[in-house]
Amino acid sequence: DYVPNGYHPAYIGEVLTNDQNNISYTLIRKLGWGHFSTVWLARAKKIEIKNSEVQSNDLKYVAVKIVRSAKHYTETSIDEIKLLKKVKNFNTNNNNNIGQHNVIKLLDDFTINGPNGNHIVMIFEILGENLLSLIKKFKHNGIPTILVKQIAKQILFALDFLHRNCGIIHTDLKPENILLKINNTNVLKLIDLISNKKNLLKILRFYQDFLSDISISRKKINNNNNNNNNSPNKILHSDNFLSSLSLMTISNNIVNNSNFPTPPSSGSNHDTDLPDQKINNNNQLNDRLYNDSNLINAKIADLGNACWIDKHFTNDIQTRQYRAPEIIMGGSWGCSADVWSFACLIFELLTGDYLFEPIEGHSYSRDDDHLAQIVELLSCPNPHEDHDLVNLVNGCSKSSSFFNDNYHLQNLSSLRFWDLKRVLKEKYKFSELESRQISDFLLPMLNLNPKKRADAGGMINHPWLEDTFGMENVFNQERKLYNSGLDMPGWCSEVFHYTLY
């Protein structure tokens, strides 16, 4: 793929410069890559000429996304930049835009010319781990509720902001596309040092100090488990354990992926996973985290598939497990499709499992299985009771290949109905109360009928989120709990002749 029209053959130490504003970016290390691009950690510098001398001032660490050069990728990223600029430039004097801070921020953009052609470069604030790696850190046992509530409330604000203020639909909400902000700049310093092998000794010292920090945290956690001690001890360091997790991943990554020798740690365990335990119904752990964790910061990233409420680029949207039923059935769609994905995402954070994980069978397709799983959880449309839903199903271009005349699935017969509250209680061992609260929270966002689906802004006011750590009593006065977003343009279908911009 590093060929003409492909990825730019970037290398550590390469300097990319935006000639318009004289800011240069020195690449330090690859952070990740996707279908469209490679993403690098870089040091930003402002080049200034003072008294006819060139001076360069360090600005900060940033993430540099270098897009593949083929026409299709260039065009898509021009759209992505327009969407990102809408997010960034939304009038900040307005105090209804808390959610703006929970969407990734574009800092700069320009084009470079390389051996494989012209590449669009986007500069972002640097973020850390995505939620998928957090799910894995907790060994698919579920992330503690205290953290899930923080993530949920922030992402709801972000969605409400995208939908109502920007007229943007993300269309690919999933754990990989939500990144946590690294508050600990040491992570970045470490990586920066490592890019220069001359600093080997310094790095080893740094790394070792860090490991001992982690093992102290681990010991404290373990002791606390054994003592059954309820005192609000400072179990985790002030810089909080999420930063530590981020740092640990990145450092492990570096050790595994380079010739860099493993530091001579005194048998300390590199594994930062929390002690084995069933976390979901462990209120003690929640309490401890409540007392000790700082407010985490979750941001929606990758607007590479996003679109406008009045300009959908494709109907082929959303990653399978997070795909809304109207998309599967070929119906019209809008902002409400993001809310469906959001509910699937929150279930996954709480339990470590997908809410829907459809597979293809001998006599049925993956879409058939997907709709069957949805119906098993939420029950079949009843043609005698819900005319609205029946009309909606009839209006979808592919619905006759799934449903028969009685609105039963035609390719799958023996369905096993198991409602959400019981799933949470019986399979995931949440308490009766928690199971009820969580299903009360999720079900309005999983309404089969997008017209009736609850909107993100209103769900911020849900009682389950009332005690969200650091965001207690933060509400959204503009939206009402459980109301659908039907009053919003583009809620369940594309808007034509709309002039918001």
Whether residue 293 contacts residue 239, with contact meaning beta carbons closer than 8 Å, is answered with no
Q: Which of 16, 66, 126, 158 binds ligand ADP (CB under 6 A)?
A: 126
b/e string for 34-73 if b means 16 or more Cβ within 10 A?
eebbbbbbbbbbeeeeeeeeeeeeeeebbbbbbbbbeeeb
CA–CA separation, 438 and 347 (whole Å): 9
Q: How far is the CB of 483 from ligand ADP (least distance, A)?
A: 33
Q: How far is the CB of 302 from ligand ADP (least distance, A)?
A: 4
Pick between residue 103 and residue 328 the one whose CB is nearest to ligand ADP.
103
CA–CA separation, 19 and 24 (whole Å): 8
Tokens representing 108 are 């700069």
Name the residues that contact Mg ion, by CB under 5 A: 34, 302
126 binds, among Mg ion, ligand ADP, none (CB under 5 to 8 A by kind): ligand ADP
471 binds, among Mg ion, ligand ADP, none (CB under 5 to 8 A by kind): none
Of 140, 133, 137, whose CA–CA distance to 271 is shortest? 137
Q: Which stretch binds ligand ADP (CB under 6 A): 7-15, 29-37, 139-147, 192-200?
A: 29-37
Pick between residue 250 and residue 289 the one whose CB is nearest to ligand ADP.
250
Pick between residue 302 and residue 494 the one whose CB is nearest to ligand ADP.
302
Tokens representing 396 are 């979808």
> Taking CB under 6 A as the criterion, which residues in 263-302 touch ligand ADP?
301-302
With binding defined as CB under 6 A, does residue 124 bind ligand ADP?
yes
Pick between residue 37 and residue 484 the one whose CB is nearest to ligand ADP.
37
Specify whether 302 is catalytic.
no
Pick between residue 34 and residue 463 the one whose CB is nearest to Mg ion.
34
Active-site option among 109, 160, 172, 368 = 172
Strands (E), 115-212: 117-125, 168-169, 178-180
DSSP for 421-481 reads: HHIIIIIT---HHHHHHHHHHHGGGG-SSTTTSBPHHHHTT-GGGTT-TT-TT---TTS-T
Whether residue 149 contacts residue 293, with contact meaning beta carbons closer than 8 Å, is answered with no
325 binds, among Mg ion, ligand ADP, none (CB under 5 to 8 A by kind): none
> Taking CB under 6 A as the criterion, which residues in 32-91 touch ligand ADP?
32-37, 39, 63, 65
Q: Is 51 left (phi over 0), alpha (psi -120 to 50) or beta?
A: left
31 binds, among ligand ADP, Mg ion, none (CB under 5 to 8 A by kind): ligand ADP
Q: How far is the CB of 123 from Mg ion (least distance, A)?
A: 17
CA–CA separation, 405 and 462 (whole Å): 38
Q: How far is the CB of 104 from Mg ion (least distance, A)?
A: 11
Pick between residue 107 and residue 324 the one whose CB is nearest to ligand ADP.
107
Amino acid at site 354: Y
With binding defined as CB under 6 A, does residue 14 bind ligand ADP?
no
Site of tokens 């109360």? 433
Q: How far is the CB of 270 from ligand ADP (least distance, A)?
A: 21
CA torsion sign for 386, 388, 390, 393 is: negative
Residues in contact with ligand ADP, counted by CB under 6 A, come to a total of 18
Pick between residue 34 and residue 395 the one whose CB is nearest to Mg ion.
34
DSSP for 248-279 reads: HHHHHHHHHHSSPPPP--SS-----PPPS---
Tokens representing 26 are 């020195």
Q: How far is the CB of 377 from ligand ADP (least distance, A)?
A: 29
Tokens representing 166 are 């920007």
With binding defined as CB under 6 A, does residue 304 bind ligand ADP?
yes
442 binds, among Mg ion, ligand ADP, none (CB under 5 to 8 A by kind): none
Pick between residue 42 and residue 420 the one whose CB is nearest to ligand ADP.
42
With binding defined as CB under 6 A, does residue 318 bind ligand ADP?
no
> Taking CB under 6 A as the criterion, which residues in 193-232 touch ligand ADP?
none
Q: Which of 127, 188, 335, 396 binds ligand ADP (CB under 6 A)?
A: 127
Whether residue 492 contacts residue 333, with contact meaning beta carbons closer than 8 Å, is answered with yes
Residue nearest to ligand ADP (CB): 34
Whole-angstrom CA distances from 457 to 73, 98, 246, 250, 270 are 33, 11, 30, 35, 41
CA–CA separation, 266 and 395 (whole Å): 66
Tokens representing 180 are 């946590």
Residue nearest to Mg ion (CB): 34
Q: What is the DSSP letter of 465?
A: G
With binding defined as CB under 6 A, does residue 27 bind ligand ADP?
no
Site of tokens 């034509």? 496
- Which residues are at the interface with ligand ADP (CB under 6 A)? 31-37, 39, 63, 65, 104, 124, 126-127, 176, 301-302, 304
Catalytic positions, please? 172
